């Protein structure tokens, strides 16, 4: 690393580091070059966090300096982008065993954020400034030890927030499950994970936590099922096949209308663990999917219409939250009832009957 530092300084001082122009303005300033040198020394000494802080300060203080270009490259190699930070808990394991690099994961996260952005355009975000941290552990044991979810291999949370300043940091934590043993399945798992969890990130930024769980998970699972469509080698199914199967297997949980209403307000996994969690996710998906694929009395709608109405209500709730306070959470039953009436002109009970029939007829049981 020290050799790299010396070579880098030599390149900059010779003017060869930036090929855009031979003008004097292409030369790095002494101050910027000094910060770059310090950052590289910190990395070579094993002080990665301090090295990252130094290069971030360089990038902010001298955004147009040629030294900032090299700082940007080094930061990306260590998983640091603009508002996104990727941390591979044991970089050596990921690089050598899984052939996964920080910069590649960072690029995929950034791509997913941009890909999902159109679904949230037109909404004035509740949080005025946001950032995302993605942490991958090299094993399930380490993920669990650090407080990872016991019912999923990945999770999103708001790790830091300031409701006065309207800023927050979201965190995605995960590990590679055993079924992601092949290169293709690892790639599909990462795509699926990011589509799902980054949707939660956008929801949090846009609505400040106003969405009830069934809408949070229904929207995230629906978008994942439509954007990640390849077959896993391990399961020989797609994400959509898997989640629809879970919904079909859990149909008896909501056959009665009273049970369906209870489901709308109950916590994740019906307040239970194990298989009930994945079945609960399946039913959340089924509601979002119905608006795209189902019909009532011959009248069809779309997922976009459903998402738009959910977004309008959540955004209004977020706007009305006093500065410094968290927005109130919408009632799932009340919100769904109004949306169903607006779109189909029927009561929630009629929607429930159509939903049960839709799942029974369209989803395969495995």
Q: In terms of domains, do 241 and 117 share one? A: no
Q: In terms of domains, do 121 and 243 share one? A: no
Q: In terms of domains, do 237 and 119 share one? A: no
Q: In terms of domains, do 156 and 232 share one? A: no
User: For 93-143, how does the pLDDT look when each residue is reduced to its tens digit (9 = 90+)?
Assistant: 888 888 899 999 999 999 999 999 999 998 999 999 999 999 999 999 999
Q: What residue numbers bound the domain in which 43 lies?
A: 2-78
Note whether residue 324 is domain-resident: yes
Angle between helices 66-77 and 30-44 (to 10 degrees): 20
What span, in angstroms and rounded, lies between the C-alpha atoms of 339 and 115? 26
Note whether residue 216 is domain-resident: yes
Pairing between β-strand 167-175 and β-strand 129-137 as defined by DSSP bridges: parallel
Q: In terms of domains, do 121 and 97 share one? A: yes
Note whether residue 130 is domain-resident: yes
Q: pLDDT at position 93, please?
A: 87
Closest CA to 78 of 116, 50, 113, 115: 50
Note whether residue 120 is domain-resident: yes
Q: pLDDT at position 351, please?
A: 98
Tokens read off for 301: 């709608």
Note whether residue 199 is domain-resident: no
Closest CA to 260 of 324, 336, 322: 336
Q: In terms of domains, do 264 and 358 share one? A: yes
Residue whose pair of structure tokens reads 């898997």 in the numeric block:
242
Bridge partners of 134, per DSSP, are 86, 172
Note whether residue 198 is domain-resident: no
What span, in angstroms and rounded, lies between the C-alpha atoms of 169 and 201? 9
Q: In terms of domains, do 60 and 116 share one? A: no
Q: In terms of domains, do 83 and 62 share one? A: no
Listed in sequence order, the DSSP H helices in the chain are 2-14, 30-44, 48-61, 66-77, 91-93, 102-116, 140-145, 183-207, 213-227, 239-249, 257-265, 275-293, 303-320, 332-344, 348-362
User: For 300-313, how does the pLDDT look when each residue is reduced to its tens digit (9 = 90+)?
Assistant: 999 999 999 999 99
Q: pLDDT at position 268, please?
A: 73
Q: pLDDT at position 47, please?
A: 94
Residues 78, 126: contact at Cβ < 8 Å?
no
Tokens read off for 260: 């369906």
Residue whose pair of structure tokens reads 């699926």 in the numeric block:
192
Residue whose pair of structure tokens reads 């690029």 in the numeric block:
107
Note whether residue 107 is domain-resident: yes
Q: pLDDT at position 11, please?
A: 47
Q: In terms of domains, do 135 and 234 share one? A: no
Q: In terms of domains, do 229 and 365 share one? A: yes
Q: What residues contact 360, with CB distance under 8 A and at least 6 apart?
A: 248, 251
Task: Tell me which residues of the chain have a pLDDT lower than 50.
Answer: 1-7, 9-11, 13-24
Residues 67, 12: contact at Cβ < 8 Å?
yes
Note whether residue 152 is domain-resident: yes
Specify the number of domains making up the chain: 3
What span, in angstroms and rounded, lies between the C-alpha atoms of 201 and 220? 10
Q: pLDDT at position 119, please?
A: 95
Q: In terms of domains, do 16 and 162 share one? A: no
């Amino acid at each position: 690393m020290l050799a790299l530092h010396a070579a880098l300084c030599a390149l900059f001082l010779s003017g060869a580091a930036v090929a855009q122009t031979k003008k004097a303005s292409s030369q790095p300033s002494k101050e910027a070059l000094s910060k770059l040198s310090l950052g590289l020394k910190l990395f070579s000494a094993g002080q990665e966090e301090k090295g990252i802080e130094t290069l971030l300060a360089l990038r902010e203080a001298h955004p147009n300096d040629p030294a900032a270009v090299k700082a940007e490259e080094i930061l990306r190699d260590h998983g640091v982008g603009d508002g996104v930070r990727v941390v591979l808990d044991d970089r050596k394991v990921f690089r050598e065993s899984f052939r996964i690099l920080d910069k590649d994961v960072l690029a995929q996260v950034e791509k997913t954020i941009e890909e999902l952005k159109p679904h949230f355009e037109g909404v004035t975000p509740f949080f005025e400034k946001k950032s995302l941290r993605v942490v991958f552990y090299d094993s399930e044991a380490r993920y669990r030890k650090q407080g990872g979810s016991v019912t999923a291999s990945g999770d999103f949370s708001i790790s830091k927030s300031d409701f006065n300043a309207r800023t927050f940091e979201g965190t995605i934590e995960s590990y590679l499950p055993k079924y992601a043993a092949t290169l293709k399945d690892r790639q599909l798992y990462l795509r699926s994970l990011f589509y799902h969890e980054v949707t939660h990130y956008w929801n949090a930024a846009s609505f400040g936590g106003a969405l009830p769980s069934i809408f949070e998970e229904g929207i995230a699972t629906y978008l994942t099922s439509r954007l990640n469509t390849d077959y896993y080698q391990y399961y020989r199914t797609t994400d959509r096949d898997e989640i629809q199967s879970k919904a079909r297997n859990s149909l008896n949980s909501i056959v009665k209308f009273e049970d369906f209403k209870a489901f709308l307000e109950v916590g994740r996994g019906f307040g239970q663990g194990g298989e009930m969690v994945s079945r609960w996710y399946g039913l959340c998906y089924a509601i979002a999917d119905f608006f795209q694929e189902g019909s009532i009395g011959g009248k069809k709608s779309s997922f976009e219409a459903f998402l738009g109405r959910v977004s309008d209500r959540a955004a209004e709730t977020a706007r009305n939250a006093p500065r410094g306070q968290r927005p109130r959470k919408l009632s799932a039953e009340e919100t769904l009832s109004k949306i169903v009436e607006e779109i189909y002109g029927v009561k929630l009970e009629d929607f429930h009957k159509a939903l049960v029939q839709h799942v029974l007829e369209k989803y395969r049981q495995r």
